[in-house]
Amino acid sequence: MTASFRPLLVSMAALGLSFGASAPVLAQEAAEQRTSTEFTMDTGGPRTPEQLAMRFDVADLAIKVMPDDKAIEGVATLTFTATAPLDRLVVELDTRFDVSEVAIDGRVLSPNDWVNPEGRMTISLPRRLREGQSVDLRIAYAGKPHVARNAPWDGGFVWSTAPGGEPWIATAIQGDGCDLFWPCIDHPMAEPGRVDLHITIPSDLSAPANGRFLGKEDHGDGWTTWNWTADQPNNYAISLTVGPYVELSGTYESRFGNTIPMYFWHLNSTDPDKAAALFAEFPEQLAFFEATVGPFPFGDEKMGVVETPHLGMEHQTINAYGNQYRKDHEGYDWLLQHELAHEWFGNQLTNVNWDDMWLHEGLGTYMQPLYTRWLNGEQYYQAALLEQRLGLANRFPVVSGSALTEEQVYEGDQGPGNDIYYKGSLIMHSLRMLIGDEDFYESVTRLVYGRPDPRPGNFEPRFASTPDFLAIVNEVTGQDLGWFFNGYLYQAALPDLVTRQQGDRLMLEWVVGDGSPFPMPIEVSVDGRVQTVPMTGGRGEVRGVGPHSHVLIDPENKVLRRLDNIDEFVAWRATQRRR
């Protein structure tokens, strides 16, 4: 996952490119009829043996965005190093594009040396690569990329128009994969070590993107190239954004001693006061995350946000924002805060498989109740948790234990869907209540950074899984909490606390989906006196409960469990919606 940074402003001439007459010619009529394959429209499927045998070092992407044609022209130069002998390279690229040239180490291949039947391009190498050898793959391609039907959920390119009539363009590809607009290995574990972006656009527009800005080059013909470089970006987090933007900039003095650049690109038609008010939230949100989790992971690049024609997406160092500057009673913009959370849970920490996506979404979502408590106090925290509690489906386990694609996780009729957000968040609340703040926050920090003492310069982006998090929690607490993870994450139904009265004893028993022990301690208030029942083996009792005693189980709502009143309300609400 490492690659050196080369601070180089790359011109189109240096890349051997001259977009225009000599660029790949778009087959317009064919492109109009062409659709993406089922393979391309899914993401996170198993990698091929070839993909498992190579390290993705650098992706150099030169892309011309043509608003009038709703098309792009691209030249991707991808550098790989073999980790085992290789005869072929395999990457993914949408079949909507016409590929005009494929070259290995500068040598143009015959069309017979590569195929791309479904969007999985296989290239025969002129010579076998030995372990440790590197190779440059160059692909020139052009066409009309897949248009998002409902970005960001059903993703692709968004070709929109700003209020002033200018083109306003964005990509949102998390749900369908990086192969929708650049050749990549479409799997969470296949991050390139570095991505260099050279985005050519009409000269009256701007193209904010990932990482550090290396300058722009006006070609004098109405087109300008914006150059960026980003270290170790999540592959679905690489984005294109084009529009008539105004830039706001500032710096944040971190508690860890470094200075973090902050940028916000908003439309030139946006109310400047609204834009300034949103930008003013940046330092407060950074302060919360750095105090709660650890250092902003990309402080040597930037905290960047860009206004988009879709709601939002966690694009590393250039988060998409389209919440129209809304605030509610909690006093902050929830979308800005949620996407910023993904710089830690998603970009710094990346799941090893989509089955572990709750590590991104659940932990990221839990940061919102914690943040509203940071701003407003405990009442707001509890109110936010209750709102999340009303949104649970509990139809599928949050984690299946198997390798899944994005669709199998996010589609609620196939997998957990929104439960990876809200149920994941509530599970984290219960875990914090169980193990205490000190162990909880240390566990989260170790998960995100791989160490308990992160400081700028002593960590790199990393991958982790649900079992990895369990191992961290066990190490930090000195306990075996496998029962907790099993009962909450690997079962569809919530743990159910069954009670019965036997004389003056209140008998309690946990029931989980697979019948395994669930020794979750539970607080019980009897006539205002609270005691903690240890629930050894999943069973416990409270003595001295009279016929007129007022009994309240879990009075501070520390434990996520099935509740009749919640189930009845959710069923009633569903009936009202159908009417």
Positions marked active-site: 339, 421
The rounded distance, in Å, linking the Cα atoms of 206 and 224 is 9
The rounded distance, in Å, linking the Cα atoms of 553 and 532 is 10
* Residue 296, SS3 per DSSP: coil
Produce one character per residue of 106-144: b if its CB has 16 or more CB atoms within 10 Å, e if not: eeebeeeebebeebbbebebeeebeeeeebbbbbbbbbb
β pairing state of 54-66 and 71-82: antiparallel
The rounded distance, in Å, linking the Cα atoms of 334 and 27 is 43
342 assigned ligand-binding residue: yes
Asked if residue 233 lies in contact with residue 192, where contact means CB atoms within 8 angstroms, the answer is yes
Q: What are phi and psi of 540, to 5 degrees?
A: -165, 175
Residue 72 parent element (H or E): strand 71-82
187 assigned ligand-binding residue: no
Burial of 438 (0-12, 13-18, 19+ CB in 10 A): exposed
Hey, how many other C-beta atoms are within 10 angstroms of the C-beta on 393? 14
HSE, side-chain direction, 13 A CA sphere, residue 54: 31
Burial of 298 (0-12, 13-18, 19+ CB in 10 A): buried
Contacts of 417-421 with C-beta under 8 Å, sequence gap 24+, read 417/393, 418/391, 418/393, 419/392, 419/393, 419/394, 419/395, 420/357, 420/358, 420/361, 420/362, 421/361, 421/362, 421/364, 421/365, 421/388
Residue 449 parent element (H or E): helix 437-449
Query: Which residue from 410, 447, 444, 445 is spatially nearest to 428, judged by alpha carbons?
Result: 444
Amino acid in the structure at residue 316 = Q
198 assigned ligand-binding residue: no
Which segments within 420-504 are labelled E, that is strand? 462-464, 496-502
| The two three-digit tokens of residue 319, written as one number | 């988060």
* Residue 48, SS3 per DSSP: coil
* Residue 446, SS3 per DSSP: helix
Annotated binding residues for Zn(2+), as ranges? 338, 342, 361
